[in-house]
């Protein structure tokens, strides 16, 4: 089964071809960073307009690079939510229209389920069940994953997601957008001994997160010091150190409480090198394993959408003719699917 995947949930335009027999054939991504940098964040209307310009040419590119054509495509999967409605509508409208004109089924895919399944595209992929740390965009959550569509949310952020906190601290430090890579790069030159930031909620039971207080602590530290290059690097280090420690503590607690032996890390913050290093160190004494998608599949991409679409389309799920997207969409609303189907292994 060969699936065209489309991703337009926010500020990245993605297209990919996934083959159930041969795996991921090709994926391409157009980023809008330059468009939104001057505003310090994503402007939804500008994002939607750029998706309109770039998406169809990108679809044609992946079809050509995969040496395929519409006659050999068995289904179209597109991101239907959660995300920016104006951006989602671009991908949904094109995806549903292509499927109708080609006479094949279409399916709207949950963006966060795509991230959860992204490690399945790697040669070293996890088997079910596992704990997933989902750190993408406006989401920070720990999920107990028993199979595709079988999710139990163990904990999530009560306020800012960790990615949002990175972006806001980057803005405080005048490091630009996107904030996560900018803070991580500045932190490489930081002094680990100069500042000590709090680790929010690690002294309380449970697996929920809160990063608004950590962001506020960073803001107060910025206001109390002159922002020379050294101080920027030191604050960046202290913030990243605290955020990563918080995530690691909660992941350890989740593994211990559920007695799972596998941890999956997905989403843009999952590409952070310090987080990966500390998670690798954390799981070793627990006799557990940790799995990541390659860095290019941590951020928004169409490969993960095509993969999930293949699984669900093979199971018989179909989208009606009307075009529907959801700005908010709970993982708990998804139907369970047999994880063994539509596999390249």
pLDDT tens digit string along 293-343? 999 999 999 999 999 999 999 999 999 989 999 999 999 899 998 855 565
Region 260-265: mean pLDDT is 98
- What is the tens place of the pLDDT at every residue in 270-295? 999 999 999 999 999 999 999 999 99
Percentage of residues of the chain with pLDDT beyond 70: 98
Instruction: Please answer whether residues 141 and 163 qualify as being in contact, where contact means their C-beta atoms are separated by less than 8 angstroms.
Output: no
- What is the tens place of the pLDDT at every residue in 184-211? 999 999 999 999 999 999 999 999 999 9
58 vs 55: CA distance, rounded Å: 5
Percentage of residues of the chain with pLDDT beyond 90: 92
The answer for residues whose C-beta is within 8 angstroms of residue 181's C-beta and 6 or more apart is none
Domain boundaries, the chain: 2-117+297-333, 130-292
Would you state the CATH architecture of domain 130-292?
A: 2-Layer Sandwich (3.30)
- What is the tens place of the pLDDT at every residue in 3-47? 999 999 999 999 999 999 999 999 999 999 899 988 888 999 999
Same fold, 2-117+297-333 and 130-292: yes
Report pTM.
Answer: 0.94
- What is the tens place of the pLDDT at every residue in 219-245? 999 999 999 999 999 999 999 999 999
pLDDT at 151: 97
- E-strand stretches of 54-195: 75-81, 106-110, 130-136, 139-147, 150-156
The dihedral built from the CA positions of residue 102, 118, 257 and 272, taken in this order, carries a sign that is negative
- Say yes or no: domain 2-117+297-333 is CATH 3.30.300.30: no
pLDDT class for 345, splitting at 50, 70, 90?
very low
pLDDT at 341: 56
Q: Is the pLDDT of residue 344 over 60?
A: no
- Could you give phi then psi for residue 285, rounded to 5 degrees? -70, -15
Q: Is the pLDDT of residue 137 over 80?
A: no
pLDDT at 38: 86
pLDDT at 37: 86
165 vs 168: CA distance, rounded Å: 5
Region 170-184: mean pLDDT is 93
């Amino acid at each position: 089964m060969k699936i065209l995947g489309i991703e337009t949930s926010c500020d990245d335009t993605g297209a990919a071809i996934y083959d159930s027999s041969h795996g991921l054939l090709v994926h391409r991504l157009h980023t809008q960073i330059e468009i939104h940098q001057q505003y310090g964040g994503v402007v939804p209307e500008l994002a939607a307009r750029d998706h309109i310009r770039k998406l169809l040419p990108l679809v044609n590119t992946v079809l050509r690079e995969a040496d395929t054509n519409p006659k050999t495509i068995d289904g179209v999967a597109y991101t239907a939510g959660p995300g920016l409605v104006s951006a989602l509508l671009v991908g949904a409208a094109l995806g549903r229209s292509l499927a109708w004109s080609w006479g094949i089924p279409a399916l709207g895919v949950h963006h966060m389920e795509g991230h959860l399944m992204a490690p399945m595209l790697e040669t070293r992929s996890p088997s079910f069940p596992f704990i997933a740390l989902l750190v993408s965009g406006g989401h920070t959550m720990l999920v107990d994953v028993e199979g595709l569509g079988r999710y139990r949310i163990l904990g999530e952020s009560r306020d800012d997601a960790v990615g949002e906190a990175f972006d806001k601290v980057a803005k405080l430090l005048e490091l630009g957008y996107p904030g996560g890579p900018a803070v991580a790069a500045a932190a490489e030159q930081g002094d680990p001994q100069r500042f000590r930031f709090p680790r929010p909620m690690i002294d309380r039971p449970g697996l929920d997160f809160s990063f608004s207080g950590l962001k506020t602590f960073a803001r107060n530290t910025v206001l109390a010091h002159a922002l020379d290059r050294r101080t920027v690097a030191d604050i960046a280090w202290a913030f990243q150190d605290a955020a990563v420690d918080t995530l690691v503590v909660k992941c350890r607690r989740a593994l211990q409480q559920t007695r799972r032996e596998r941890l999956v890390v997905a989403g843009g913050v999952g590409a952070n090198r310090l987080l990966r290093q500390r998670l690798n160190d954390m799981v070793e004494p627990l006799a557990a394993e940790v799995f990541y998608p390659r860095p290019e599949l941590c951020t928004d991409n169409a490969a993960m959408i095509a993969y999930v679409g293949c699984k669900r389309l093979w199971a018989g799920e179909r989208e009606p003719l009307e075009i529907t997207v959801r700005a908010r969409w709970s993982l708990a609303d998804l139907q369970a699917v047999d994880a063994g189907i539509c596999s390249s292994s």
